[in-house]
Structure 1
Amino acid sequence: MTKPRSAMVFAAGFGTRMGALTEHSPKAMIEVAGRPLIDHAIDPILSAEIPNVIANLHYRPDVLRLHLEGRGITTITEHPEILETGGGLLNALPLLGPDPVLTMNSDAVWHGPNPIGPLCSAWDPDQMDALLLLVPRDRAHGHAGKGSFTLDTENRISWHPDLVYTGLQILRTDTLAAVGKSAFSLREVWQPMIEAGRVHGLIYDGHWCDVGRPAGIAEAEAMLAAG
């Protein structure tokens, strides 16, 4: 197992699809089963004992900063503009260091084994520039669209509406600056890696719920209650 020493939690989003729920609070503070989404994201990371954890903030950052205070999480606020996933990661590199980084979205809930252990066990830096954790659509709750990827016999990823990306990955960051932008999506980082056959996927054994819309809250709570 080659476990990353640093993790990045994306928590800067506006949460506009949540409507009135994010009028006075960031999306990552919306509660699911009595706990904020940000806690559902960082608990697996802390349980995996990754020593350096960074969370990026933008919309109503003081609320999240106060909530994370004293928990060993370093926060970085994007100002004046939000930088998207790729730009946010690039902006945080001075805190994350040069080695591969684990990244996780903060708007999802997991039910099953800690997803970080299997991901770290499968990570092979000699063969991979990125390793994405995926889930079949029948175990992707709250996800309204199609999947994004499929896997070949060697578990290499290509674009196809099959498996759903969970927002959790291990990624080499040494090509981020080559994109040449301050705000950009990680899709722009993945594309040349995919073309080179260097992005692999791992299918998660448990259940996962996207909490990007208000209906996702009830779906996540039902998933957790189902056992």
Structure 2
Amino acid sequence: MKAMVLCAGFGTRLGALTRETPKPMLLLAGRPVLDYVLRHLARHGFDDIVVNLHFRPEMIRDYCGDGSRFGVKLTYSYEAEPLGTAGAVRAVADHFRGGPFLVQYGDVLTAHDLGALRAAHAARGALATILTHRRAGSNSVVVVGADERVERFLERPTEEERRGVDSDRVFSGVLLAEPDVLDLIPLTGPRDFPRDVFPAVVGAGRLYAHPLNGYRCAIDSPERLAAAEAAVRDGLVG
């Protein structure tokens, strides 16, 4: 199956750690974050993977090569200016026209069973299925019905928008989508899935959530980088 790993961000919240190094190339127990991500995808049958690049692209290309060391075929998509999470996929849309595909943020380390995600997505006839976990006060709020259909998706809501919304489910940075989603991505400018695509899928009644099982960490601070390294050493992810 096909997947895209988003690696074009700057990782500014990590400060000096990402001044000269792309965030997905930060080391965990001697291996880059991206190494773990690609191997996890390969274990779950995602063997045709696109990686988008912007900052210090040569570091990722030199380390990952053609993907054979991970058991996958890698294709690179260079962005002269970052296109956002959805704009990045839009730039290589033709690659994903043949069937469902996965998108994963490049700083998300997880041991989630992606086979279970695929099965749930297919069983519901979803247009897109997002991995979710529980965390109060996050950047996103996902309101889910009894059948895991997403009823509301709030991206970076204000305190007023949060008022009266009773949900601690949040987007985990992994989604599985059908090719029709590609036609919902606006054609110009940087675009993001949470802000520019998910509302339309919610409106169509075809955005579903899938609860996280196992380990997950978004490596967006020095503290989380240290926590992820501890998780690797403890065998929670590998």
Q: Same fold (TM over 0.5)?
A: yes
Give the match for residue 141 of structure 1: none
| Structure-2 residue corresponding to 1:212 | 220
The one-letter amino acid of 1:118's match is A
| Preserved contact between residue 131 and residue 200 of structure 1 (Cα < 8 Å) | yes
Is 1:149 aligned to residue 157 of structure 2? no
* Counterpart among 121, 124, 127 of residue 122 in structure 2: 124
Are 2:41 and 2:47, in contact at CA under 8 Å, matched by a contact in 1? no
Matched residue, 2:48: 52
Three-state SS of the structure 2 residue aligned to 1:65 is helix
Deviations 1:173-221 (A, max 9, x none): 4343452324111121111111221100111221211101111111222
Q: Which AA in structure 2 matches 1:15?
A: G
1:155/1:201 contact within 8 Å kept = yes
Offset at 1:48? 1.7
Structure 2 CA distance, aligned partners of 1:197 and 1:177?
16
With over 3 angstroms needed to count, the CA separation of the structure-2 counterparts of 1:198 and 1:205, relative to structure 1, is same
Q: Deviations over 1:85-136 (max 9, x none)?
A: 110000011333342211111102224xx43111111112763110011122
Bigger shift: 23-32 or 155-164? 155-164
Q: Which amino acid aligns with 1:22?
A: T
| 2:108 counterpart residue number | 108
* Aligned residues: CA RMSD: 2.1
Gaps of 5+ in 2: 68-72, 154-164
Q: Which runs of 4+ in 1 moved over 4 A?
A: none
* 2:174 counterpart (148, 168, 179): 168
Output the CA distance in 2 between the equivalents of 1:104 and 1:49: 14
* Residue 197, structure 1, aligned to residue 205, structure 2: yes
* Unmatched tracts of structure 1, length 5 or more: 139-143
Structure-2-length-normalised TM-score: 0.82
What's the TM-score once normalised by structure 1's chain length?
0.86
SS in 2 for 1:134: strand
What displacement does 1:73 show? 1.1
Amino acid across the alignment from 2:138: G
1:24 aligns with 2:20: yes
